[in-house]
Structure 1
Amino acid sequence: MQDEQILHESHDEYGPLIVLDDKHMRVLSFGDNDEQSKLLKAEPHIPQHTYIQAMLLVLLFIKPKRVIILGLGGGGLIHALRNFDTGIKVTAVELREQVISLAKRYFQLPIGKKLSLVHQDANQFLLQGDHKKADIIFADIYGGDGVDENQLSEPFIENAAKMIKAEGYLVLNCWKEHSNNRLLLSYLQKHFIEVRACLTGGGNWVVLAGKSKREITASGLKAKAHNLSQQLDFTLGRSLTRFDIWE
């Protein structure tokens, strides 16, 4: 960001937390050259990172009533989901208490009865398994050094699958190199019927694992993406061109 102002700077046991502002955008950073979350202040519901846009491809397959988000960040997914359907019940689980406070203070987090914020380690949250089952679990667990390796483990995938409804989805935000992780694919195939993935322009590997098979043609997906783009207020076309079955 050019001409940015530092609005907040602090540390917790996991590292730095920085909030930057350049009048139009607001960024949450966990370290040097890190953009954990990016918010367009005038239109917070439009994701600024391609990986969040790709994660929302799951809405082509299911219209959720209840979702779980593992890793809050600045709440970009929550903003987009709220714009899509204000009735969705969202539970967001975040390890770092300061992240929750910063999302509320600086990132226009849409607080209300439909949003529950849980200060807890996501792995422990899944292990306890005492939350109502969700239609979608979004897993976006990152730190200053990258993706949390637990998010790629078999216990994580298994415990997440147990908390997802019979027609539901697990959505993982990973990195490009994880597209070669055959172990991760095998874990997903063990607990889900269909696994799709999208390589984003930003180098993320976004995975959609569904508990049921969706028979839909490429032209059918394109038509649905056109309608969904209008609902979300940004185009899904770029993500769709890189989206396919992972096998």
Structure 2
Amino acid sequence: MRFNNLSNGAQAQLDLNRVDYPFVEYIQLMIISLTYYPFLLDNKNILIIGLGGGTLPRAIRKLYPTCSITIIEIDPLVDEMAKKYFYFKEDSNMKVIINDGRNFLKSSLNSINYDIILLDAYDSMSGLPSHMKTQEFFLELKNLLNLNGGLFIVNLVCIYQSYINVRLTIDSVFGQNNLITFRSTDFVNMIVVASAAIENFPLVNQKSNIINDIQEKLLIDINSSLKRKQRQKQIHNQKLSGIIYRDGMKNMKSEQQMSLIEFVNIV
């Protein structure tokens, strides 16, 4: 599956012999990030912004059939394609809502708290939509997280100059010491994991069975990925130019690639 004019990469892929296997590496890394949730995920509330081919929610459903999974997708055609070509199916505890992700967050304030929020939403320029990479947006998102261990997991494209700004913006909301990252082997995607509890840096949950479940049920080589984990680099100390995105800014849609020096220092 490719979106809009993104002709040089696929946003969803499926192995017809293993439909539950998350074929795309960054999806695997988002799933592996669940190991930082400090409790059992059974019967928890999970929010996913961005359906794509439905690979991510289907994998989480296989891991945790009793979780309540809400998926927000702005494009009804994406929902149609996921169900028609990628074998994605809703069930009594996994529903797709056609809505803008931020509109949904605003309408959900004070109504429910989520234990996990995963963000994988992109516009035609291959960056986060401009209204979903601001400080105000991440504050709204954080306010919906369960403060007792809640995790925010986001997929970022790290070859663009805006990546630095988005990292700084997330840092301003969650705290720099509260972030960890996983980088894909092709250096394109960076998965950022943030904890809702300011005083707690996320640690791998060694007490639950999630590591074994991911390896056995989804056939993901989790140990090699955990070894590649990176702690949040000290962006401020690298003297890189960057800004914190705020609502109303007019310069957030330009997604130019980083210079080689910027890329090496950050990624």
Q: 2:190 matched to 1:205?
A: yes
Q: CA RMSD in A?
A: 2.6
Q: 2:134 matched to 1:150?
A: no
Contact 1:89 1:114 in 2 (8 A): yes
- Give the AA of the match of 2:223: G
Q: Which 10-residue stretch deviates more, 85-94 or 193-202?
A: 193-202
SS at match of 2:104: helix
Contact 2:36 2:204 in 1 (8 A): no
Change (3 A) 1:215 1:101: closer
- Give the AA of the match of 1:91: T
Alignment match, 1:162: 143
Contact 2:153 2:192 in 1 (8 A): yes
Q: Deviations over 1:56-105 (max 9, x none)?
A: 12221224311111011110101110111111111000011111111111
Q: CA deviation at 1:132?
A: 2.1
Q: 2:227 matched to 1:241?
A: yes
Alignment match, 1:111: 90
Q: Deviations over 1:85-127 (max 9, x none)?
A: 1111110000111111111111111321011111001011112
Contact 2:174 2:196 in 1 (8 A): no
Q: Deviations over 1:145-191 (max 9, x none)?
A: 2022333211111111111111111111001246633522432435x
**Matching residue within 64, 72, 75 for 2:54:** 75
1:82-93 correspondence runs (5 A): 82-93=61-72
Contact 1:29 1:37 in 2 (8 A): no
- Give the AA of the match of 1:50: E
Q: Which 10-residue stretch deviates more, 175-184 or 82-91?
A: 175-184
Which structure 2 residue ranges, 5 or more long, are not aligned?
234-267
Change (3 A) 1:185 1:232: same
Which structure 1 residue ranges, 5 or more long, are not aligned?
1-26
Q: Residues of 2 paired with 1:132 and 1:83: CA distance?
A: 24
Q: What TM-score results when the alignment is normalised by the length of structure 1?
A: 0.78
- Give the AA of the match of 2:164: N
- Give the AA of the match of 2:155: N
Identical aligned pairs, as a percentage? 22
- Give the AA of the match of 1:55: M
Q: What TM-score results when the alignment is normalised by the length of structure 2?
A: 0.73
Q: 2:16 matched to 1:41?
A: yes
Change (3 A) 1:136 1:217: closer
Contact 1:38 1:49 in 2 (8 A): yes
Alignment match, 2:157: 175
Q: Residues of 2 paired with 1:82 and 1:115: CA distance?
A: 8
Q: Deviations over 1:10-34 (max 9, x none)?
A: xxxxxxxxxxxxxxxxx35433223
Structure showing greater relative contact order (alpha-carbon pairs closer than 8 Å, 6 or more residues apart): 2
Q: Which 10-residue stretch deviates more, 174-183 or 149-158?
A: 174-183
